[in-house]
Chains A and B, each alone.
Chain A
Amino acid sequence: MSAPEEPMESLYPFLYSGGTDLDAVLTAVRQSTVDKANEIVALRQSVLERDGDRMAACAQAMAAAFDGGARLFTFGNGGSSTDAQDVAALFLNPGGAARPLPAFALTADVAVVTALSNDIGFEVVFSRQLAASGRSGDIAFGLSTSGNSRNLIAGFQEADRRGMITVGLAGYDGGQMAELGTIDHLFVVPSSSVHRIQEAQTTVYHALWELAQDALRRRGAVPPPRSS
């Protein structure tokens, strides 16, 4: 939905005209905020239309896995690492009446992250942790904007080898995460703006959490079906 990144010159032409009129700058940046609010509303709508049904199915699968004793492992780099930690914090300590669920962010332990990076390399920083701690039926949840982070790809490959449920959030066209073809639940935010991608991904994982909580309540309220 959103346009490719435009050069700053076309977004803020007054900057390059040599003027220093503060009122003009303030007017332009106010409009920029309005435009971006409209952009993210439109982008979320397109994510809903593309992936709404698949989000519901993913939340059902996560709820069934948690009922079976699964643990959630989240991972990402940079801004996406903060999202990974947000996902883990939300599942583990949701507050209110929501059910706390076992979740770990693979970026939280600096000793492990620096040991693996120093001794082997940064590309194994998630896969080695999943190899050590992930069990069949656990959930691997990775976030990237490009879909091309090597350590995420390695993490998803390891999770797949171990029989984990894999959930991936990406942007652009999904990159290598889409090419892998092994991610069980892949949600690609169709934008080329890293910022808008992250904003829409935040909504996706909040929706997955809320729907999974809803599914868990329903599963607890009725006898589980004989087969999944």
Chain B
Amino acid sequence: MPSLKDLKTRIESVKSTRKITKAMQMVAAAKLRRAQDAAEMARPYTERFNAVMGALAASVGDSDSAPKLLSGTGKDDVHLLVVMTAERGLCGGFNANIAKLAKQKATELKAKGKTVKILTVGKKGRDAMKRDFGSLFIGHIDLSDVKRIGYADAQGIAKDILGRFDAGEFDVATIFFAKFVNVVSQTPTAQQIIPAAFDAPEDGSAEATTLYDYEPDEEAILADLLPRGVATQIFAALLENGASEQGARMSAMDNATRNAGEMIDKLTIEFNRSRQAVITNELIEIISGAEAL
């Protein structure tokens, strides 16, 4: 049975923990707003981009002259997994879920006899993957100094990946990130970026039948745009990830705050009970002392 003093210190310490988690929750909520706005702002660009690329890719099709970024290298022996996670923890299952999906995929690919290479973006994913797949790491991109994700960051990552692709280091690249559904739910997602897979325009009727003039020619445009496409997809994924991270942290901290509250209630009851027990004990002592006289 813990003494009164022990209980009191525990209550105090849980209270200060609650203050911290509460503050973190509020910070995450504010950041989430900003991250969501950023993701929202980027959406028109990504949507238009994919629509145009879809149309272009369809018109160039599978011809032999199609750029490698679109048609692939013709093999799928070496897979590059780009695992994008947060730089910080304390955000529930966010990092773990992405890492889990990536691990699953890596195991699957290895079972099929493919070579797997892993590029990590974000410290937490690196830590999570290190144990089982540390030998497959080929690089790491650190974003811990980045306050606000900008397009330039995505370009940097894209440049790294494209450089490796040009050097023939891999055939297929897949990015792993968490798609932001809402504050309480983020879905870990795998998306293939090389060779590029563009969704066909949804309202296919209007988009697909427009015959565009191309200046310069289609292939030159495609060659110019495909690397940008990689950067765009990475940028979109980074933003989704940013919003997801804050969402996950917010709900994790909300839970933590609530749990701390429950714990305080429990401890307070225990504290009151034992205080009462001490008082009763003292009374009994006094009374039995008086009776003995």
Q: Are A and B bound to each other?
A: no
Give residues in A with beta carbon < 8 Å to B.
none
Give residues in B with beta carbon < 8 Å to A.
none
